[in-house]
Amino acid sequence: AVLGCEKMAPPLAFDDVLVEIGTFGRFQLRQFLLMILPLVFNAFSNLSYVFTAADLKYRCYIPECENRTDAAYLTEWLPAAVPYQRNQPAGCERYEAFVNITGDYLQCQASDFNHSAITRCFDFVDDFNTSAIIPCDAFVFQTEESTIVRDFNITCAHNDWKLTLVGTINNVGQFVALPIAGYLSDRFGRRWILLVSVAGSALFGLVRSFATSYEMFIAMEFLDPVIGSTMYTTAFILALELVGPKMRVTGNNIISCAFSFGEALLGLLAMYFRDWRVLLRILYIPGLLALPFLYTTVESVRWLLSKNRKDEAFTILKRAAKLNGKTISQAAFERFNCIETKSGSAKSLDTQTYAQLLREALANPALVLRVINCSFCWLTNTMVYFGLSLNSVSLSGNKYLNFILVSLIELPGFFLMQLILDRVGRKKTLFTTLVLSGLFCIISVFIADIDAPALHLTLFLLSKLSITMSFGTLYIYTVEIFPTNLRQSLLSTCSMFGRIGSMIAPQTPLLAKVWTPLPMILFGCLGISSAITSLQFPETLNNELPNTLEEAMNMQGNDIPATDR
């Protein structure tokens, strides 16, 4: 296929071909629009537990004073029966009645209750028989909102871990799935893995909505990301590999905006569908309906080339040129077909098995160091990013509106990233945004006792803005520093270790009970430490995506020298 290549003009690189067919025309736009669907579904899958496993406000049901059918959360007599904390009735404590009879005899006045004896709702002591412990599982909820707290009776402080465990289990599923999905995607193609992940996630999400116990709910919460967690990385690569170097930041921002809108849409849907079972069905049914549309997407051209399936790749490129209103000459295709690896020792994927490629990568200490460094950056970004998103519902005001606003505050970050990333480069942007996110978190600790809600909110939003820019930069950076034939596997590996951060993030409310400033101090220290280590990455501004290991390790401005082979 390459006879006479020596007599031709220099071979065309893939990025040069993209310039001829259009770096971001109708073809790429159509691909991006299709990829928006799995990105939105991934936002649903990653964060639906914020609302399905949300804690609720409730108090003990007082059978001496009210009926279950018409019990109200706040009543005139309630302060006589229940202790108050910060002007709100205690969730799991009540005053013990002096007499243990029901009916009209007890008038529910302060004199009817012994305020020196506080009874916990789940440890009720009978007045007449102190050896009889009667569990109290009856509560009056503030609103009609339904989460697993109400359906599975996950109430009071001793059950807090069950709620925080849901988010952790979701991320454990992602941790388990990502390296396997990365291997399968690199081995069998991005397109089919995308279809399987969308379908699997939708299926387990729907089954979860019919859960009859906490254990069944947790099991489905785990299986959902095990199958569907690769949606984001696969859609990201399918969309971004088709655009030219100068349009990658724009493409990255489109993808990031889609995920943010997915988060905001989740908050909006949760606001109107406050039954967690109904909400899950609203979120996951569209995944099944979208499968016919996603089936029409094209396979990654770069992956096809790395598999030496050039005919299929050329067909897609010709289709792209036609849709973009461009033409590409046969001579250009022949020059592109003659492309050889710059290093004579490099081999294509068709002559090397995946295991051989992986062994070659692990034998390169510089690449191993880069993967470790990248993984630490991912851990930091995921912990801070998801930690701030999860804590947004604890801000004062409407929790749904807060979640939507904290999701939408990411959009200015993408626009700022668009302005500066191609001007100052990836390395400086990543370093600066990580430092800022860390500083804002640490500053919030020192002003925690100041009564300035606006200042606290401002710091919270600035932290989210900074980590959003950092996360967006890290995604495009990770794509650019690894070779094509290992790109998704190594991206998935870094993302897998990043899930350690998002596994810890749902537990930060429990960390705060040990020491209130601990979560923000942890976020701040990690941000600044990760910023320092990120200085070891090479600058990739305006570089072509590396196709081989040698190209990846000898990129211009590389701070980590390639090892001699």
Q: pLDDT digit string (tens) for 439-492?
A: 999 998 888 778 777 787 788 889 999 999 998 899 888 988 888 878 877 887
Q: Given pLDDT bands bounded at 50, 70 and 90, which one contains residue 327?
A: confident
pTM: predicted TM-score of the whole model, two decimal places? 0.80
What's the rounded Cα separation, in Å, for the pair 45 and 57? 25
Task: Using the predicted structure, report yes or no on whether residue 341 has a pLDDT greater than 50.
Answer: no
Tell me which residue of 500, 417, 504 sits closest to 466, measured CA to CA.
417
What's the rounded Cα separation, in Å, for the pair 397 and 458? 15
| Phi, psi dihedrals of residue 237, rounded to the nearest 5° | -70, -40
At 100 the pLDDT is 53
Of 296-305, 450-459, 496-505, 552-561, which range is least confident?
A: 552-561
What confidence tens digit (pLDDT) does each residue in 32-55 have? 899 999 999 999 999 999 999 998
For residues 410-421, average pLDDT: 87
Residue scoring higher pLDDT (519 or 211): 211
Which residue type, as a one-letter code, is found at position 76?
A: E
Question: Residue 485: CB partners within 8 Å, gap ≥ 6?
Answer: 186, 306, 349, 352, 357, 547, 548
Strands 113-120, 84-85: pairing kind? unpaired
Tell me which residue of 233, 240, 220 sits closest to 181, measured CA to CA.
233
Q: How far is CA 391 from CA 157, 180, 314, 406, 464, in A?
A: 18, 31, 48, 10, 11
Domains along the sequence of the chain with CATH: 11-54+152-339 (1.20.1250.20), 57-123+135-142 (no CATH), 354-557 (1.20.1250.20)
Task: Using the predicted structure, report yes or no on whether residue 348 has a pLDDT greater than 60.
Answer: no
At 156 the pLDDT is 85
Of 43-52, 64-73, 179-188, 339-348, which range is least confident?
A: 339-348
Alpha helices in 276-364 (DSSP H): 276-289, 291-294, 301-306, 310-323, 330-337, 354-362
Please give the distance of CA 529 from its chain centroid, rounded to a whole number.
Answer: 22
Q: Compute the mean pLDDT over every residue in the chain, rounded to the nearest whole number.
A: 82
Q: Given pLDDT bands bounded at 50, 70 and 90, which one contains residue 562?
A: very low
What confidence tens digit (pLDDT) does each residue in 500-532 have? 888 989 988 777 777 877 888 988 999 999 999
At 115 the pLDDT is 66
At 233 the pLDDT is 83
Q: Contact, 35 vs 239, CB < 8 A?
A: yes
436-439: long-range pairs with CB below 8 Å, 24+: 436/462, 436/466, 437/384, 437/463, 437/466, 437/467, 437/470, 437/523, 437/527, 438/523, 438/524, 438/525, 438/526, 438/527, 438/528, 438/531, 439/524, 439/527, 439/528
Tell me which residue of 362, 349, 364 sits closest to 187, measured CA to CA.
349
What's the rounded Cα separation, in Å, for the pair 465 and 414? 9
Task: Using the predicted structure, report yes or no on whether residue 561 has a pLDDT greater than 50.
Answer: no
Tell me which residue of 53, 3, 276 sits closest to 154, measured CA to CA.
53
Task: Using the predicted structure, report yes or no on whether residue 21 has a pLDDT greater than 50.
Answer: yes
Tell me which residue of 524, 529, 523, 481 sits closest to 502, measured CA to CA.
523
Helix (H) or strand (E) holding 115: strand 113-120
What confidence tens digit (pLDDT) does each residue in 98-141 have? 655 455 545 566 666 666 666 555 443 333 222 323 345 688 99
Residue scoring higher pLDDT (242 or 159): 159
Task: Using the predicted structure, report yes or no on whether residue 295 has a pLDDT greater than 90.
Answer: yes
The three-class DSSP label of residue 95 is strand
What confidence tens digit (pLDDT) does each residue in 131-173 have? 323 345 688 998 899 999 999 999 988 898 999 999 999 989 9
Which residue type, as a one-letter code, is found at position 172?
A: V
At 149 the pLDDT is 95
